Amino acid sequence: MKVTVVGTGYVGLVVGTCFAETGHTVRCIDIDEDKVASLNEGKLPIYEPGLEELVHRNLEEERLTFTTDLEGAVADCLCVYLCVGTPRKETGEADLSFTLTAAEQVARAMTGYRVIVNKSTCPLGTAKKLDELIGGITSHPYDVVVNPEFLRQGAAVDDFMRPDHVVIGSDDVRVQEIMKELYAPFVRTGKPILVMDIRSAELVKYATNAMLATRISFMNELANICEAFGGDITHIREGLAADSRFGTSYLFPGLGYGGSCLPKDVSALAHIAKDKGLKCDILDAVGVVNERQKDMFVERILGFYGDDIGKKRIAIWGASFKPKTDDLRDGPSLKLIDALIKKGSEIVVYDPVAGPRVRDRYGDKVTIAEKNYDALQDADGLAVVTEWNEFRRPDYSKMASLMREKVIFDGRNIYTPDMMKELGFRYFSIGRQAV
C-alpha cells in the first residue's frame, strides 16, 4: 500500500518508518528542506532507540523517502496520515492550526479517493472540522479516520511494531477494513484492533494519558505523606502492585511527569471539558500535584545549602524528561537548572544523549560533562533527575572520592537509604526517610 505521512516529527518519523518496515511504500512530508535532506541521508533530528537503524534500512530498500513535495506524494497514495504537532496554548487548549493547515494542503493535492487519517492528538470535534474543511475544498471522495497513537518515547518503535491495541475511529465498514489491513502485520499475536465511533477515538488518547498522569501524581502525594509520617513509599508501592486491581505500571514516585504528551493532554482534556460546563477537579489536581512535586525537589536542594547555594557546584545526572530520549520538554531538570542559575550556582550536567540540547538551551550558563563521573569532580552535591540505567549501579567509592561533599538528592529512588548510610552519603529521596 502507498502511504503518505505529513510531518516528520517524533510521531511522523516512527509511523512512516514502521509502515515502511512492513513493506509499504511510504513518503514522509516536511516543509523544511534542510531537514528533509538530512533525513534522506539517514540523519535523524531526534533520539529514539532502534529508529535510526530502521530508517537506514528502509531508505536503502527504497520503501521510505522524505520529500517537501506534498502535492506529488498525495497525488499517488491511498492513505494520508496527518502527524503534525498540536502544541499547548497558554489557555491550556490544543493548537490545531498545524493540523488544519496540513489538511487544507492535502485536500488541494488530492486526485482521487483518499483515506485521511488523523494521527495527531486533537480535541473532540476535530475530525468533524477536518471533514468540513476538506469537503469545502475538494470534489474528490474521501474519508476521515481517527487513529490515535500510543507511543512511549524511548520505546516507540516497539510500541508501534508490537502494540497493546490499535484504535480505529470510523463508522464506514469499507474504511475499517482498509485500516485493519494496514495494521494486520502488527497484531499477529492476537492483540485487538478496537473499532469505535470517531468521537470515542478522539477521546481515548486523552483518557489514557490522563489516567497515567493521575497514577503518577497520586503516587507522589502518597510519597509526601510517607515522608511526613515516617513511612517508606517503596513498601506502599509493593502493596499496591501486589493487588491485581492495580497492577505494577506507573506506581513509581519521583519528580513527576514531563515530555510532549502527558502535560499537554491533561491540560487539553480539562479545557475541552470545562468548555462544556463540566468541573474537572481530578484533572486540575493532577497537574497541580505534578508541578508541586518538581518544586519540592528544587526547594529541598536549595534549602539544604541555604545562603551558600550560590557558592556550590551541583552535578546533575539526567536532563531528558525520561530515559531513552533526548526530549527536554516539561522535564524536571529544567526547573532545577533554572533555579540554580538564578542562585548563581555552578552547574554540571551529564545526560547520555540530551547534553547537546541542554547546551543549546543554556549555552555557557551550564557545563556539559562528557562522562557521568566527570560531572562529579569537586561537586558539592549530586541531583539524580533521570533514571538512565547507567546511573543505577555506579562505582560508589569513585563517586565519594570525586565529590567535595558526599550529598545525593535522588529524584528517582534508584538507590537505597541503607546503602547510602553505609557508604557515608547524606541522602535524600522521594517518600523515604532522609539519611
Active site residue 261: yes
Sign of CA dihedral 70, 73, 75, 77: negative
Q: What radius of gyration do the chain's Cα atoms show? A: 24
Count the Cβ atoms, other than its own, within 10 Å of residue 241: 14
Of 389, 425, 433, the C-alpha closest to 405 is 425
Count the Cβ atoms, other than its own, within 10 Å of residue 2: 13
Name every residue whose Cβ is closer than 8 Å to that of residue 211 and which is 6 or more positions away in sequence. Answer: none
Sign of CA dihedral 425, 427, 433, 435: positive
Name every residue whose Cβ is closer than 8 Å to that of residue 84 and which is 6 or more positions away in sequence. Answer: 6, 7, 9, 12, 98, 99, 101, 102, 120
Of 292, 300, 340, the C-alpha closest to 319 is 340
Count the Cβ atoms, other than its own, within 10 Å of residue 362: 18
Of 13, 16, 290, the C-alpha closest to 2 is 16
Complete DSSP assignment for 102-153:
HHHHHHHH--S-EEEEE-S---TTHHHHHHHHHHTT--S-EEEEE----PPT
Torsion angle of the four alpha carbons 147, 148, 152, 154, in this order, in degrees rounded to the nearest 10? 50
| Under 8 Å between Cβ of 219 and 253 | yes
285, with CB counted inside 10 A (0-12, 13-18, 19+), is middle
Residues 135, 140, 143, CA angle at the centre, nearest 5°? 65
Of 368, 385, 258, the C-alpha closest to 319 is 385
State the catalytic residue, choosing from 18, 83, 261, 280: 261
The Cα-based distances of 134 to 64, 66, 202 in angstroms read 26, 24, 18
Rounded distance, CA 4 to CA 190, Å? 27
| Under 8 Å between Cβ of 33 and 26 | no
Which residue matches cell numbers 529514539?
48
| The three three-digit cell numbers of residue 285, written as one number | 489536581
Q: Which residues are catalytic?
A: 261
